Amino acid sequence: MSTRTVLSQADITRALTRISHEILESNRGADDLVVLGIPTRGVVLAERIAATLTAISGTAVPLGSVDVTMYRDDLRRQPTRASRPTSLPADGIDGKTVVLVDDVLYSGRTIRAALDALSSLGRPRAVRLAVLVDRGHRELPIRADFVGKNLPTSTSERIFVRVAGVDADELVAIEGGADPVDGSADGGVA
């Protein structure tokens, strides 16, 4: 199987900076924003987005993570990974605009699980979704508000997202598939 890189480290950094600007524009500033990453790579990406939001706006943007493992509806079909702790900012999420961050949006099931987890943690004013890569093939009516790269793929292809802090290098690559693919991707294995 062939593997090709579609996003370099510089491409990922540019995409995260653009997403950060779009979040601030959409929210009309950083007031009442909370950024929550979905483990594993979504947490690293959320940290980078929160740092960029803080640098651009001059306002500290609260950061946390939300583990969705026990909220997934496909636990019987795929191996379960160990749960990671959920961490919320001291002020919580009630009445805030929560930006969920993940590496790859695929079927929508991880985001559905994240929404279920959020509902057990509080009542945000609004929830927005930021992803590095949207590869299509949705099974649920979920779409991202902020996308680093739309990457149409075939179901036989896999997207590999590697980020500094978790992996030795930083890139987005596509592996396999018989269909030619146009564009680039970012995100974990999806």
Q: pLDDT digits over 62-92, tens only?
A: 999 999 988 887 766 766 667 778 999 999 9
- Tell me, yes or no, whether 84 lies in a domain: yes
Taking the CB of residue 169, how many other CB atoms lie within 10 A of it?
10
The rounded Cα 104 to chain-centroid distance in angstroms is 6
18: CATH:
3.40.50.2020
What is the extent of the structural domain holding 135?
10-151
- Tell me, yes or no, whether 54 lies in a domain: yes
- Tell me, yes or no, whether 53 lies in a domain: yes
Specify the long-range contacts of residues 163-168, CB closer than 8 Å, at least 24 apart.
Answer: 163/12, 163/41, 163/44, 163/45, 163/103, 164/9, 164/44, 165/44, 165/47, 166/40, 166/41, 166/44
Name residues of the chain where pLDDT drops below 70. 75-76, 78-81, 177-190
The reported pLDDT for the residue numbered 187 is 42
- Tell me, yes or no, whether 133 lies in a domain: yes
Query: Encoding tokens for residue 4?
Result: 């090709």
The reported pLDDT for the residue numbered 123 is 97
- Tell me, yes or no, whether 58 lies in a domain: yes
Query: Encoding tokens for residue 178?
Result: 């018989």
- Tell me, yes or no, whether 108 lies in a domain: yes
Distance CA 148, CA 12 (A): 8
- Tell me, yes or no, whether 79 lies in a domain: yes
pLDDT tens digits, one per residue of 42-54: 999 999 999 999 9
The reported pLDDT for the residue numbered 72 is 82
Q: Which residue has the tokens 């802090």?
A: 165
- Tell me, yes or no, whether 158 lies in a domain: no
Total domains in the fold of the chain: 1
